[in-house]
Structure 1
């Protein structure tokens, strides 16, 4: 469902710090990687265009009257999701950003990276939040960035195609839920899946070079899907970036 422009508020919210806490690189050294999608949220609109010129736009889908806010971040803006509701709430205002099935976001066995910057508290995450993903497990394969677990740590997940395919998870050794801006990037190399937090390697797991990720599902930001109240993210994000190569 399309979110009317009139529901998009360009105002600051209490969730965010007045200034960014870090100025870390958005990803490890890019080398020969090609940015295939980048969303900066600097323009308030019903759809979010891709700043790289290669990816598909993201459209805002809402349920139960959910709205987003565009908030000041540095010289630009970031996007803040609705506050997370109780998981058993009958009415749960929420918003999901969804793109199309972009083949540039299907890396196969190639090295690639994906990530974003975020500002959030533990309350904005709840028991689990899906920040960024394409694909689902036990199907055509997926890549995902999430926050959850007992310690509410960010983690990167990839899985190959097929029911029962092994999932590989790189969990960060440090948290990010201090209401300050942090950059989290997942990097799949020829042999590893690495999670970078504010430019520092905070965890890795070995991944066979044969694991291939390619699916016909859309890029989703902010939740597993629009019906998944449990995985909805209630914080703010900026600079969603995907690179391949």
Structure 2
């Protein structure tokens, strides 16, 4: 903060030429043309987007929100009745820093008649205002913007002159019975953005605060008793016309506790996707001054963005914001304690609504079945959950083609069964529907006719033709006995030897499969015994002439009840080989080895 001393002040309060003796840790100062101070902006760090400035707590004698939408009166909200008369082409109702504001052009002003309580005397003085302008004052002829004036250089009783200079810097000037001083400091405020300027005379200090950065100089100005009206936007006798938007002008007189502007945090920047809303989580703290009113009002507003923003409750610190279009939005949370206000912004990136993608479907692998068997279907389907609503996916199995009728266990289930009325080739389709888009996938099911049993004498109903006990130990016999598994008869393989254990075999002679074909051969046999415990093994053996090409076996533990045992084999030399089918029990004691019935060999 720059300070003056006795080495650089003249008796009238202005500076010696050259301003020697000044120290300027926060601002580099130069002498203004009227002997005042011009400060180059070099602020101390402050929280981003938050204005937090200690101020002497005065009493507001004039508070002009400039929110009127029509008429010729700028109403005073301080309770003192200092209403102003609007003169010239002032435009009301333009967007303001808080609610609406006035747009001034040359020849326009607001004039507030003088009253005793508008004359500060030796009391502290605070004037604050918000401005937004894009046009600098006309260059090089001494014209500036008079934002707030009371009197001029010729007025008896002093002068208050709050201005924006030709270079865009704000300035504060107070003149009283002991002299006057002008302080010019801070950045260019004529840049098309909102800026808050606060000018104060507190004791012997002249303080200027621009967007939270404070500059000061020292000057004992003495009593200010000027009786001229207060003017907004112009000089006492016209001229120095403001060209821009003005909002929230406060004129306060008096001293007391230290008021600080509210501290505002609009929360973190966010990214959302339409149609979702943003959850705004702001914070506002204040020192409770001035009191009255002792309260803080808060308002959310849209600073910029490609569409409209709708707030759930624009006066609530925590609320929601919904957006009419995708894009980048800047939202502002502003807080006012009736004298000072501050704000912070949050950037919301709004992505367009996700594009609905079609479902992904897989009907599974192609299959081959043999009638009357069913096909087991196991499809998969996934989706992005759009559109929502309904946010659900419906799947359906259907028959696309085939020679017969297909019956599904549950056509709406991804995993189900399909049965067929006739053999042939069928194409089954799995379709997924998200209510807007459909996708399908097909699989082919080859349905072979019911397999024919290749065994010519499966149940010994008339004789034992096609079966014998070749390869068995001596004394092993095959006979036909009553009481079969399904029919009236069965084959009995017995050890009729002289008291020794024997290997009992029953095999097809000649082979039922005289020439193999491509496919899978399955041999099965229903078996039982008079006493449980023995192990029966069946075999399918492939021969090329007399050479054994391959063999498959399966075993079962015999019981006194009928059981089926089966074995499958894929020929290695289809078209040239033959298959041999047999059942055997090793180390069978004298007596029954096993019973056999309903023997089959099928190919698929």
Give the alignment's TM-score, normalised by structure 1: 0.75
Stretch deviating more after TM superposition (43-52 or 71-80): 71-80
In 1: Cα distance, 2:183 partner to 2:119 partner = 20
Q: Structure 1 residues 145, 227: CA separation in 2 closer, same or farther (over 3 Å shift)?
A: closer
DSSP-derived class of the 2:228 partner: coil
Alpha-carbon shift at residue 96 of structure 1 (Å): 1.1
Tell me which residue corresponds to 1:215. Answer: 226
Tell me which residue corresponds to 1:78. Answer: 101
Do the aligned partners of 1:60 and 1:98 also contact (CA within 8 Å) in 2? yes
Do the aligned partners of 1:141 and 1:213 also contact (CA within 8 Å) in 2? yes
More helix by share: 1
Do the aligned partners of 2:186 and 2:210 also contact (CA within 8 Å) in 1? no
1:147 equivalent in alignment to 2:174: no
Tell me which residue corresponds to 2:65. Answer: 40
Tell me which residue corresponds to 1:120. Answer: 133
Do the aligned partners of 2:158 and 2:226 also contact (CA within 8 Å) in 1? yes
1:133 equivalent in alignment to 2:149: yes
In 1: Cα distance, 2:230 partner to 2:49 partner = 27
In 2: Cα distance, 1:191 partner to 1:141 partner = 15
In 1: Cα distance, 2:90 partner to 2:61 partner = 28
Aligned length: 201
Alpha-carbon shift at residue 55 of structure 1 (Å): 4.1
1:158 equivalent in alignment to 2:174: yes
Q: Structure 1 residues 49, 196: CA separation in 2 closer, same or farther (over 3 Å shift)?
A: same
Q: Structure 1 residues 29, 173: CA separation in 2 closer, same or farther (over 3 Å shift)?
A: closer
Alpha-carbon shift at residue 156 of structure 1 (Å): 0.3
Q: Structure 1 residues 22, 61: CA separation in 2 closer, same or farther (over 3 Å shift)?
A: farther
In 1: Cα distance, 2:237 partner to 2:103 partner = 16
DSSP-derived class of the 2:55 partner: coil
Do the aligned partners of 1:128 and 1:152 also contact (CA within 8 Å) in 2? no
Do the aligned partners of 1:28 and 1:199 also contact (CA within 8 Å) in 2? no
1:185 equivalent in alignment to 2:185: no
Gaps in structure 2 of 5+ consecutive residues: 1-47, 255-604
Do the aligned partners of 2:171 and 2:182 also contact (CA within 8 Å) in 1? yes
Tell me which residue corresponds to 1:87. Answer: none
In 2: Cα distance, 1:212 partner to 1:227 partner = 25
In 2: Cα distance, 1:216 partner to 1:76 partner = 32
Alpha-carbon shift at residue 41 of structure 1 (Å): 1.3
In 1: Cα distance, 2:161 partner to 2:175 partner = 9
In 1: Cα distance, 2:174 partner to 2:126 partner = 11
Do the aligned partners of 2:135 and 2:243 also contact (CA within 8 Å) in 1? no
Alignment of 1:26-65 (within 5 A): 28-31=54-57, 33-44=58-69, 45-62=71-88
Alpha-carbon shift at residue 167 of structure 1 (Å): 2.5
In 2: Cα distance, 1:48 partner to 1:221 partner = 10
More strand by share: 2
In 2: Cα distance, 1:75 partner to 1:112 partner = 23
Do the aligned partners of 1:96 and 1:225 also contact (CA within 8 Å) in 2? no
Q: Deviations along 1:4-37, whole A, 9 cap, x unmatched?
A: xxxxxxxxxxxxxxxxx96636x64343x21111
In 2: Cα distance, 1:144 partner to 1:59 partner = 19
Do the aligned partners of 1:115 and 1:145 also contact (CA within 8 Å) in 2? no
Q: Structure 1 residues 22, 118: CA separation in 2 closer, same or farther (over 3 Å shift)?
A: farther
DSSP-derived class of the 2:108 partner: strand
Alpha-carbon shift at residue 141 of structure 1 (Å): 0.6
Alpha-carbon shift at residue 103 of structure 1 (Å): 1.8
Do the aligned partners of 2:152 and 2:236 also contact (CA within 8 Å) in 1? no
Q: Which runs of 4+ in 1 moved over 6 A?
A: none
Q: Deviations along 1:161-190, whole A, 9 cap, x unmatched?
A: 4xxx73301111322111111100101111
Alpha-carbon shift at residue 112 of structure 1 (Å): 1.5
Q: Deviations along 1:145-169, whole A, 9 cap, x unmatched?
A: 10114x23110001124xxx73301
DSSP-derived class of the 1:136 partner: coil
In 1: Cα distance, 2:236 partner to 2:202 partner = 28
DSSP-derived class of the 1:104 partner: helix
In 2: Cα distance, 1:43 partner to 1:197 partner = 26
**Larger Rg over CA atoms:** 2
Alignment of 1:11-22 (within 5 A): none
Do the aligned partners of 1:109 and 1:212 also contact (CA within 8 Å) in 2? yes
Gaps in structure 1 of 5+ consecutive residues: 1-20, 85-93
In 1: Cα distance, 2:96 partner to 2:186 partner = 26
Give the alignment's TM-score, normalised by structure 2: 0.32
Q: Structure 1 residues 67, 186: CA separation in 2 closer, same or farther (over 3 Å shift)?
A: closer
1:100 equivalent in alignment to 2:113: yes
Q: Structure 1 residues 61, 75: CA separation in 2 closer, same or farther (over 3 Å shift)?
A: closer
In 2: Cα distance, 1:22 partner to 1:103 partner = 38
